[in-house]
Structure 1
Amino acid sequence: MKEFATLDKAIELAKKGYAVYPLIENTKKPPKGVAGYKDATSDQGTIFAWFEKHPIYNLGLRLDLSDLLVVDIDMHEQTKNGRNSLAQLFKQGYTLPSDTYIEKTANGGIHYFLKYAGAKFRKVDVWPGIDLLSDFTVIAPSEINGKQYQPLDGRTLADIKPAPKWLVHKLAGQKVNWPSDRAHTTRQKRYTGHLLDEMVTGTTQGNRNAWLTKMIGRLFATGAEPENIYALACSINERFIEQPLEKKEVTTIYNSILKREMKRFERNSIRNSKIAG
Structure 2
Amino acid sequence: MKESAALYTAIELAESGYDIYPLSANTKTPPKGHHGYLEATKDQNTIVDWFQSNPAYNLGLRLDTSHLLVVDVDIHDSTKNGKDSLFELQRQGKTLPPDTYIEKTASGGLHYFFKYTGDKVRKVNNWPGIDLLTDFTVIAPSEIDGAAYAPLDGRTLADIQSAPNWLVDELSTNNLNGASEHAYTTRLKKYTGRLLDEMVQGVSTGDRNVWLTKMAGRMFSVGADPKTVYNMLSVINDSFVDPSLSSKEINVIFQSILKRESKGVN
What interval of TM-score do these two structures reach, taking the shorter chain for normalisation? 0.5 to 0.7
Name which of 174, 179, 199 aligns with 1:206: 199
Q: Which position in structure 2 is the counterpart of 1:123?
A: 123
Partner residue, 2:39: 39
Task: Tell me how far 1:204 sits from its aligned partner.
Answer: 4.7
Is 1:10 matched with 2:10? yes
Matched with 1:111 is: 111
Identity of aligned residues (%): 61
Q: Deviations over 1:36-89 (max 9, x none)?
A: 000000000000000111111100000000100000001111111100000000
Instruction: Please give the alpha-carbon distance, in whole angstroms, between the structure 2 residues aligned to 1:173 and 1:32.
Output: 37
For residue 20 of structure 2, what is the aligned residue in structure 1?
20
Name the residue aligned to 1:257. Answer: none
| 2:199 partner letter | G
The structure-2 alpha-carbon separation of the partners of 1:35 and 1:207, relative to structure 1 and needing over 3 Å to count, comes to: closer
Q: Which residue of 1 is the match for residue 178 of structure 2?
A: none
- 1:26-175 correspondence to structure 2 within 5 Å: 26-173=26-173
Equivalent residue letter for 1:206: M
1:91 deviates by 0.5
**For residues 67 and 12 of structure 1, what CA distance do their matches in structure 2 show?**
18
Q: CA deviation at 1:33?
A: 2.5
Give the secondary-structure state (helix, strand or coil) at the position aligned to 1:172.
helix
CA distance in structure 2 between the partners assigned to 1:205 and 1:152 by the alignment: 39
Q: 1:207, CA displacement in angstroms?
A: 6.1
The 3-state SS of whatever aligns with 1:153 is helix
> 1:258 aligns to what?
none
Which structure 2 segments of 5+ residues have no match?
A: 176-195, 202-214, 226-234, 241-246, 248-266
Could you tell me which amino acid in structure 2 is paired with residue 146 of structure 1? G
Paired residue type of 2:101: Y
Secondary structure of the 1:123 match is strand
Correspondence list, 1:126-275, <5 A = 126-173=126-173, 204=197, 206=199
Residues 10 and 207 of structure 1: CA distance in aligned 2, closer, same or farther (over 3 Å): closer
Q: Distance in 2 between matches of 1:129 and 1:69?
A: 16
Count of residues in correspondence between the two structures: 201
TM-score normalised over the length of structure 2: 0.68
Letter in 2 for 1:88: E
Q: Which stretches in structure 1 are left out of the alignment for 5+ residues?
A: 176-202, 218-236, 238-242, 250-277
In structure 2, what is the Cα distance between the partners aligned to 1:102 and 1:205? 35
SS of residue paired to 2:138 = strand
Give CA deviations for 1:12-41 in whole Å, capped at 9, x if unaligned.
000011000001100011112221000000
Deviation per residue, 1:172-203 (Å, 9 max, x gap): 1079xxxxxxxxxxxxxxxxxxxxxxxxxxx6
Q: Give the root-mean-square deviation of aligned CA atoms.
A: 3.3
Query: In the alignment, residue 12 of structure 2 is paired with which amino acid?
Result: E
- Structure of higher RCO (CA pairs closer than 8 Å, 6+ residues apart): 2
Task: Quote how far apart the aligned CAs of 1:2 are.
Answer: 1.2
The one-letter amino acid paired with 1:4 is S
